[in-house]
Chain A
Amino acid sequence: MPSQSLAYAVLFGHVAFIVVGALMTVLSQNLVRALVGLIMTLFGVAGLFFLMSAPFIGLMQILIYVGAVSILIFFAIMLTQSWSSGDEAQGPSRKRAVLASLTALAPALFLGLTIIFKSPPSLLVAEETEVSALGRFLLEPYILPFELISLLLTVAMAGAVILGFERRKQR
């Protein structure tokens, strides 16, 4: 069946894109190139959401992570001026590299095994959820986590503002 093989090609194309981006993020000795790798990964994940018929989540991923978060990271990198002669320009020691790869593999293994042995029924037949249904879920059954997250973000923002003011006073 040609459409089946086409689907596989698209899926593994996305996976390859994500993996290349992730490797670039981890292995690059230049902060900006690492960020470009991270953006590639985030874009690939957005594509995966599209493949799983969740275009809303995919677009939100692009709007928030690619359009806002990574750009703010970029701003932070530009302010630090540490791209040519920082600690990150030297590669990590071998022990650290092994530990880091183990740390990365552990959740991947755990999640992979969970999916294989206890796959959710929605995995095989991807079904598009309407945006209005998503909104209702957020405001009815999941109202508590939703409000807690917004509280957390407000606290974080207030904290950042206070830290900024304190530093200004010291000058």
Chain B
Amino acid sequence: MNPPFGIPPELFTILLALGLLAGFVGLNGLVLVYLERKVAGHIQRRPGPFEVGPHGILQPLADALKLVGKQLITPRGADKWLFWTAPIISFAPVFVLFLPIPFGPVLTAMEMDLGLLLILAFAGINVLALCLAGWSSENKWSLLGAARAVAQSVAYEIPLLLAVLAIAFQFGSLNLSTIVSGQGAWPWQWNIMVQPVAFFIYFVCALAETNRAPFDLPEAESELTAGFHTEYSGMGFGIFFLAEYANMIVVCAVATALFLGGWNGPAAPGVWWFLVKVYLLLLVMMWFRWTYPRVRFDQLLNLSWKWLLPLALINLLVTLVLVKI
């Protein structure tokens, strides 16, 4: 493909990818909102949204229009600049996060040797946005939510990194495409069979890092109203929401690439396998949300520091020994 206007081809690829990714993230947001409400409904033995469109399929569009149409209110006493910068900081890294993900054999926005590290580095910025949002709202619930977000993300980032490191050691690479093509077509050739402990740790930590139930303490609605985003109205909240769903897709996509063979599949490898696996993981996350009660804060921290961290270290050590033998 020849880029128009004399733009350098590398830049053109990235711009094109960013445009496509923006569409992908927006569309996925709509699909996931619908799925989440339907899954919640069926788990609680009710139909979920049913009125807008056939089986309520247009409900997320109505939700989105409502959010866009609402007035943006800055609370009195809030730090106005930081208050409105926080949602932007929360959403901006999402585009970077999607760049090195190998959706298909050739469908990668940016082939990069350090792709995994890029994702891990930029995924940490979300917490910063939560902190700024919670602090600048000038509201006790928001501040408590932000404090919880910090403690939680610091605690769960370490076992997550160690779990991912085990895979990186095994393949000697941080390039997601290399890791995907190192796995075979059939489920028993995927990394989850070799590294089940790492997958378990990764998935639990991913739930915590994306603030999903049972680890949704930063926004625990029954104790903190809505936690860090209590004061946000309209699209201020909408952007946080979209960023959360985008982050869920990112952690599931990384899990798919690292542990579930990525775009490899028993027949016709391609982007569809990748999407099927990502969506299965997302459904598991939703299933967890409506199955497990929220953990208490001391339980949350104990789980990470006393169980997951030692487990991840032992797993890493065993991997190292096995790789060297």
Contacts and interface: CB of A to CB of B under 8 A. Distances in A.
Interface of A: 30, 32-33, 36, 39, 55-56, 59-60, 62-63, 66-68, 70-72, 74-75, 78, 131
B14 interface: no
A30 B79 contact: yes
Contacts of A39: 128
Contact of B117 (A36, A56, A70, A78): A56
Given A36-B132, A63-B124, A131-B114, A78 B82 contact: no
Contact of B157 (A67, A78, A131): A67
Interface string B77-89: 0010110010000
Contacts of B323: none
Given A67-B124, A67-B127, A78-B131, 11 more contacts: A32-B79, A32-B82, A32-B136, A59-B117, A60-B117, A66-B121, A66-B124, A67-B128, A67-B157, A71-B153, A78-B135
B82 A33 contact: yes
A62 B119 CA distance: 11
A62 B131 contact: no
Contacts of A55: 112, 114
A67 B147 contact: no
Nearest to A30: B79
A33 B135 CA distance: 11
Contact of B121 (A67, A74, A78): A67
Contacts of B204: none
Contacts of A60: 117, 121
B313 interface: no
A71 B154 contact: yes
Contacts of A59: 114, 117-118, 121
Interface in B114-139: 114, 117-118, 120-125, 127-128, 131-132, 135-136
Contacts of B143: 78
Given A78-B143, A131-B114, A131-B174, A71 B121 contact: no
Interface in B125-170: 125, 127-128, 131-132, 135-136, 143, 146-147, 150-151, 153-154, 157
B72 to A, nearest CB: 21
A60 B132 CA distance: 22
B113 interface: yes
B150 A71 contact: yes
B125 A67 contact: yes
B150 A74 contact: yes
Contacts of B125: 62, 66-67
Contacts of B114: 55-56, 59, 131
